[in-house]
Structure 1
Amino acid sequence: LLKWFKRDFFSWVNNPPCSACSNAETVPTGMGRPSADDAASGAGRVELYGCKACGAITRQPLFARYNDPGRLLQTRRGRCGEWANAFALCCRAIGLDARYILDLTDHVWVEYYSDAMQRWIHMDACEAAYDQPLLYEGGWGKQLTYVVAFSKAGVRDVTRRYTRQWDALQTRRAEVSEPWLMSACYALTVRLRTELTASDRSLLEERDAAEDRELRDSQLPPPEVQTPLPGRQTGSVEWRAARGELG
């Protein structure tokens, strides 16, 4: 699914071509308001670009920043937000228990729960990366802070899965206190599970407890021999370099 989604289904957007002369060298000039149709599909903003060749200011309607995954299955393009939204929908469509992962240093991806392995598995459609949670810290060189999982059945702080530098990372977690974050995630999870049956809640609580143990154990020293992790592959070199994600 990851390979199909990246190679055949979705495409990455750096900057849209000029709608007047089709020149590919356009530069961002600001943000515009979405049309009523764009807004109905969850677009809160539209990127505006200027053309270096003819000077036209073009609004690229196919790259309004849609949040509606159904609309994204039609446009089939975007950056990491659009990729994660659409990929999560595809995962759920084939029966996977998938959740949306938000990295507050500006990236998103998906996890799915594997019944066979009894754990959540990292999947990044942009990179076609499977079960490589240390990709961002170890490959891209990101200075992570908060990584939070959102699903229809709960909200979880899963930052520990994505770091082997927990002590250093904790010094960057200054937005809220740790007790407040734990309490907020718990309260939201309880609210989301209100309508579930007692047996379903019990199953999810067992899964949560197993994940808590896994996250604690993930801070053990890694093996001496590791496969090198790559820097970010998607996006222009200039864009990736500006974000410090070349690795």
Structure 2
Amino acid sequence: MNDEELLRYSRQIMLPQVDVAGQEKLQASRVLIIGLGGLGSPVAMYLAAAGVGQLVLVDHDKVDLSNLQRQILHSQQDIGHHKITSAADRLTKLNPHLQITALDHKLSDKELREITQNVDVVVDATDNFETRFAINRVCVETATPLVSGSAIRMEGQVSVFLNRPGTPCYRCLYREEGELDGSCSENGVLAPVVGIIGSIQATEVLKILLNIGSTLDGKLLLLDALHMEWRTLALKQDDECPVCGTRSTERRAH
């Protein structure tokens, strides 16, 4: 790192869990963020600010006026433009050392698998179960850590799936549609709730990259923002899980 970078990250480098070696590890890391809306905005901004070297950004939507209440990557002048464009512009202004790969189309299974194989962590910041299930399947197949978050109304949840043998995956949690299913356009959401959940997702990504502390792997963190109450539930691998379960693995082997 040069002197400018040492000053930029000085408050983070002061942490004994990070130090110069950890900061250099972040700079050498590559993270895939799928979805640049309410969750993806704080995730991308905090990872960029923290010094993660490369971000692969995926979103095929355009900025709409109704997005601006909570999607803080985008602004009034971005309405009608691809979210990828405004996100890349905002993030490079935040940290010019950042390398960005911007993809403004929906990824095929092949593309998703190829990209996932070449990143250190995947962040699921999407809002529908079809996409979440596809992301989870590829992360399990490639043994890539997945940081998943969702938020709706005044509720949110975060979990980490390291996708190691014996650990649960996202499909162990939800076989079909989950309790936070549905979009913000259908159910509404309080603006800061997505910021809280996205910030936790970013924190979990940094912990994984730095290999520090305890992550939310095997746990589901639930937020009730209306009463500002938190709950943590333990998750276990489901033998019957169609993606990672031992019985489904045995069936695939045969």
Fold agreement, TM-score > 0.5: no
**Higher percent of residues as helix:** 2
TM-score normalised by structure 1 residue count: 0.27
Higher Cα Rg, which structure: 1
**Higher percent of residues as strand:** 1
